[in-house]
Structure 1
Amino acid sequence: MFEHTFIGLDVHAVNVVGHALSPGTGEISAHTMAADPAMVLEWVRRFEPPLKVVYESGPTGFVLARHLRAAGIDCVVAASSKLLRAPGDRIKTDRRDARVLAEMLAVGSVTEVRIPDPDEEALRDLSRLRSGAAKDLAHARQQVNAVLLRHGIRYPKDTRWTQEHRQWLIAQRFSEPALQFTYEADVEQAELLAAKLSRIDKQVAATAAACRYASVIDALMCLRGIQLTTAFGLAVEIGDWTRFTGSSIGSYLGLVPSEESSGQSRHQGPITKAGNTYARKLLIEAAWVHRRPYTRPGDRLLRQLDLVAPATRIRALEGNHRLHRKWEHFDERHKMPVKANAAIARELAGWCWSLAAPLQQGERMNAA
């Protein structure tokens, strides 16, 4: 191990700062270069192999890591949330960050991030595009409702954003020209975003049916609260389900309780919220559905269950019953719904794993 040269890279959009450390000889080398993978590779190759390179996960993505790996360089991406930093360290520069990464890599303290291939990353981008469009649409609709509420106008029915509600919105008139223009612009924005979301949903459906995760998506949709966009998001965000176990996937998604223990005292707090934020959000939203009454699958679930293998069907039905009974147990104990939902989401992650991991493992065995 100490024969390696460990290289830490502080990667930015414009430049890259490198720090090379050889624990065996104590040699240190630092260099600043343009953010060009070819230039970084040229500098890394100045050192005698074996080499190991690390940089921190962030907005620059995985292009550099893929380029170095394609050239035969052992490159890993460090999880930024897992990097250690001394409480008294108040000086932060690019050179110090690169040096810290090299030192942590040398002692084996780097928590690696799985590097997706370009196809998998493209699927993630599509899923996150859908999430962003849904958020923008919700904000635009709230803006329309807020304008009406400020001027004492309320839609007489409970169900909104139907065709009837849209016609009612168009018919509203204000005496002030500036206000009328503002209102019409808000309504137009909401309609445009709704059309955009509809186009994205069609693309997600077509992509989900043809991508490598099609079987996993079908299996996940057998659980209550998980429909196409949620199943697609979970499948592409997790990627390789076989790298987890039923208990460890909850920790990866930040769904386990935080803990502060010292001596004889032990205190558990809210969930850690570490790991994949988007996948955690999808599971927390889906977990609320399991609180609703459940005796048998609905029509949508029945159609979905017919698309999967018997073993997957049996496992999904058991999961739906178990998760609902867990909610009933929490309600009987009058547990706070938010805390109960976090616990249900953690169990739901385990049930998702139990459906997806065997499928991926079987596909790999068949391919081999």
Structure 2
Amino acid sequence: MKNGNKKIAKEETIFIGIDLHKKRWHVTIRTTDVELFCSSIPGAWASLEKQLLKYREHPIYAVYEAGYFGFWLHDYLINFGADCVVTPPSLIPLEYGNKVKTDKRDSRKLALLLAKGMLKRVHVPTEKERYHRQVVRRRRQLVNDRVRTQGRIKAELQLYGIDLPNPSGKWTQIYLENLSRIRFKDRWMQKSFSHLLEQYRFLDTQIAQQTALIKELSETPRYKEKVKILSTIPGVGILVAMELLLELQDVRRFQKADQLAAYVGLTPSQYSSADKVRMGRITCIGKKALRAMLIQASWQLIRKDGVMREKYDKIKVRAGGKRAIVAVARTLLIRMRRLLLDNVPYVPGVISSI
């Protein structure tokens, strides 16, 4: 095959680096030794497919960075017959001292590192897993929107020197009715504040509907037994169980418990030099929302499992309460993995089960 003045043998493998943006993609196509194409193309599958068809007789490997584009391009490339690597941006090798960053350089770098086998893959969920995962993520988005709206209501009242009725109280329907009785001297401001309260009520309704949808999904054969097992853990309900199952998909892909803990970001960082070893805070890499939910569940767990409480108290003495509850959350995550692998319910009083 010929590309310009460059000839490549039929058995040559093609490596493609794609730097994705909304309107334009920068694509680099190369073999192990020779660059064949490096240019910007319209940001659409048809434009990329046009380039791929020139090399359809060759083994093709493509790579792009994981991000807001999701995995639809991965699916298209796989269906075309190419092998696609979706790589985490944080694990791409860096060129220290290089202060120039362009789309062209990024796509070239991706193609070259792919050819050298220096890129890591993220796990690509199936299409159904992605759809189901979005159900729990949608609820999380709605909860965050409600928290922001709640903050706006508080800020607006504070701006005009109006005290909240029972500031520490729960925002129940009665509480919202009390807020709706607050009166401003200006009718335009009154209407604006009423709209803010309506927005809060709307989000409240949406969250309830999304929660019901998650519970309905948990009753399907795909998740029912696993949710039942995880729900035997004190502090773990349907929402926590579904969050874990849909964010992790199949726990069997983690060969070791430490790999799972690292994936969720519950592994301590380490700074070592010569004979000095210093352990730092958790890495916080990975699933932030799942990590927060596990920590929240751990507070309930230590109230009902004496051995877990003992572990918490022991670590709290030397490292403080925050580190202690994180350690309990890590143990809880590892226990969850073991329960799912062995298909058995939770047994209180067991400190670890790898």
Post-superposition Cα deviations, 1:126-175, rounded to whole Å, max 9, x if no partner, equal 11110010111122223333444552424248532233323322222233
Q: Residue 236 in 1 paired to residue 220 in 2?
A: no
Residue 272 of structure 2: aligned partner = 261
- Mapped to 1, the partners of 2:42 and 2:115 lie a distance apart of 25
Contact 2:15–2:115 under 8 Å retained in 1: yes
Out of 278, 296, 302, the residue aligned to residue 285 of structure 1 is: 296
Give the AA of the match of 1:340. Answer: A
The alpha carbon displacement at 1:189 in A equals 1.7
Q: Residue 37 in 1 paired to residue 45 in 2?
A: yes
The alpha carbon displacement at 1:348 in A equals 1.6
- Mapped to 1, the partners of 2:306 and 2:86 lie a distance apart of 40
Post-superposition Cα deviations, 1:201-223, rounded to whole Å, max 9, x if no partner, equal 11111122126233222222222
Instruction: Normalising by structure 1, report the TM-score.
Output: 0.82
Q: Report the 3-state secondary structure (helix = DSSP H, G, I; strand = E; otherwise coil) of the residue aligned with 1:223.
A: coil
The alpha carbon displacement at 1:14 in A equals 1.9
Instruction: Normalising by structure 2, report the TM-score.
Output: 0.85
- Mapped to 1, the partners of 2:183 and 2:35 lie a distance apart of 75
Residue 332 of structure 2: aligned partner = 348
Residue 338 of structure 1: aligned partner = 322
> Per the alignment, do residues 56 and 156 of structure 1 end up closer, same or farther by CA in structure 2, a change over 3 Å counting?
closer
Q: Residue 139 in 1 paired to residue 123 in 2?
A: no
Q: Residue 60 in 1 paired to residue 84 in 2?
A: no
Give the AA of the match of 1:264. Answer: D
Contact 1:54–1:75 under 8 Å retained in 2: yes
Give the AA of the match of 2:283. Answer: T
Unaligned runs of 5+ in 2: 1-10, 345-354
Contact 1:19–1:29 under 8 Å retained in 2: yes
The alpha carbon displacement at 1:88 in A equals 1.1
Contact 1:287–1:348 under 8 Å retained in 2: yes
Q: Residue 106 in 1 paired to residue 86 in 2?
A: no
Contact 2:257–2:337 under 8 Å retained in 1: yes
The alpha carbon displacement at 1:345 in A equals 1.8
Q: Report the 3-state secondary structure (helix = DSSP H, G, I; strand = E; otherwise coil) of the residue aligned with 1:267.
A: strand
Post-superposition Cα deviations, 1:87-106, rounded to whole Å, max 9, x if no partner, equal 21211111111111112212
Percent identity reads 27
Give the AA of the match of 2:20. Answer: V
Out of 208, 229, 240, the residue aligned to residue 219 of structure 1 is: 229
- Mapped to 1, the partners of 2:221 and 2:39 lie a distance apart of 42
> Per the alignment, do residues 85 and 93 of structure 1 end up closer, same or farther by CA in structure 2, a change over 3 Å counting?
same
Q: Residue 171 in 1 paired to residue 181 in 2?
A: yes
The alpha carbon displacement at 1:233 in A equals 1.5
Give the AA of the match of 1:73. Answer: A
Residue 363 of structure 1: aligned partner = none
Give the AA of the match of 2:275. Answer: Q
The alpha carbon displacement at 1:37 in A equals 2.3
Post-superposition Cα deviations, 1:315-358, rounded to whole Å, max 9, x if no partner, equal xxxxx554333223234x15322222222222121112112234
> Per the alignment, do residues 211 and 30 of structure 1 end up closer, same or farther by CA in structure 2, a change over 3 Å counting?
farther
- Mapped to 1, the partners of 2:48 and 2:234 lie a distance apart of 48
Post-superposition Cα deviations, 1:161-200, rounded to whole Å, max 9, x if no partner, equal 2333233222222334344334322222211111111111
Return the structure number with greater relative CO, CA threshold 8 A, min gap 6: 1
- Mapped to 2, the partners of 1:31 and 1:175 lie a distance apart of 62
The alpha carbon displacement at 1:234 in A equals 1.4
Residue 93 of structure 1: aligned partner = 102
**What number of residue pairs does the alignment pair up?**
331
Unaligned runs of 5+ in 1: 295-319, 361-368
RMSD over aligned Cα atoms: 2.4
Contact 1:255–1:272 under 8 Å retained in 2: yes
- Aligned counterparts, 1:245-256, within 5 A: 245-256=256-267
> Per the alignment, do residues 38 and 358 of structure 1 end up closer, same or farther by CA in structure 2, a change over 3 Å counting?
farther
